[in-house]
Structure 1
Amino acid sequence: MNRKRPTNTEAQADMTPMLDVVFILLIFFVVTTSFVREHSLSVTRPESNSAVSAENKTLMIQVTHSNHVVMAGRNIETSQIASNIARISATEPFSSVAIRAHEQSRHQQVVTVMNAVREMGQWPIALVD
């Protein structure tokens, strides 16, 4: 009676019943879950006339070929840019600043205007043709 015993036996578990249980639990949770629709209040916000008008307005600053600064139709000095921006923003709010520089104007003059605008507020600055 010489029986040979297998020396390399690996135990294997049948996974089919465990997968069945997992799928049954998944189906149970999907069926029993109730989806609650949250209700909220609708709020009617008042519209401000000044915010709407400031939304579309742009302050135009021009630098001429002779390096003169023109703002709101007036020739001004570079030292007066800040005070003119403060005056204009108090009477007519604007949302951005556009600088139109002539192609023969000095770059330093344009940079000076940009720095003066930047010191007065956080308006976006655009260079236009």
Structure 2
Amino acid sequence: MQISNEAKPYDTINVTPMLDLAYVLLVVFILMTTASVQGLNISMPKPSNKPSTEKHELKIVQVLADGGVLLNGVGLSFAELEQQLQRARAADAQMSVAIKGDARSQYQHVVAVVDLCNKLQVNMGLVTARIGT
């Protein structure tokens, strides 16, 4: 028997070293990205054990479909609404207004009430409802 020194061509590729390299690169990438991410420092307010004894007035302004305005269920003109809110603001500077707009009302009527509250510097919020309720 004679041994030949001829090199045989490879018919398969050994992918194990490539997979080892890919896993090492993946681990390095994960470690580097998690090391570079910094958290935000947030100082949360501490809760008070005392219940709030401050009570401020809440006015509910409803904008009807026809553009009419109700203040706590009483119909008013826009000028009367402004006077009532000015009086309430003078009595309690921290008073709030909840604005409820009818779904069929024109948007400009609701915006007019919001603008009035901004002009009078009154705390306000828009009342929303879930769809289907």
What TM-score results when the alignment is normalised by the length of structure 2? 0.49
Rounded Cα–Cα distance in structure 2 between residues aligned with 1:122 and 1:70: 17
Code of the residue aligned with 1:53 in structure 2: it is K
Shift of 1:122: 4.3
Residue 64 of structure 2 is aligned to residue 53 of structure 1: no
Unpaired runs of 5+ residues, structure 1, are: 1-47
Query: What are the Cα deviations for residues 41-84 of structure 1, in whole angstroms up to 9, with x where unaligned?
Result: xxxxxxx96xx011xx4321001122110002221112232211
How many residues get paired? 78
Rounded Cα–Cα distance in structure 2 between residues aligned with 1:66 and 1:92: 31
CA 1:94 to 1:71, structure 2 compared with 1: closer, same or farther past 3 Å? Answer: farther
Please say which structure displays the higher CA radius of gyration: 1
Q: What is the aligned partner in structure 1 of residue 18 from structure 2?
A: none
Q: What is the aligned partner in structure 2 of residue 115 from structure 1?
A: 115
Rounded Cα–Cα distance in structure 1 between residues aligned with 2:93 and 2:72: 13
Code of the residue aligned with 2:55 in structure 1: it is S
Unpaired runs of 5+ residues, structure 2, are: 1-51
Rounded Cα–Cα distance in structure 1 between residues aligned with 2:119 and 2:62: 18
Structure 1 outlier segments of 4+, above 6 Å: none
Q: What is the aligned partner in structure 2 of residue 100 from structure 1?
A: 100
What TM-score results when the alignment is normalised by the length of structure 1? 0.50
> Do the aligned residues in 2 keep the contact of 1:99 with 1:128 (CA within 8 Å)?
no
Shift of 1:91: 4.5
Code of the residue aligned with 1:113 in structure 2: it is V
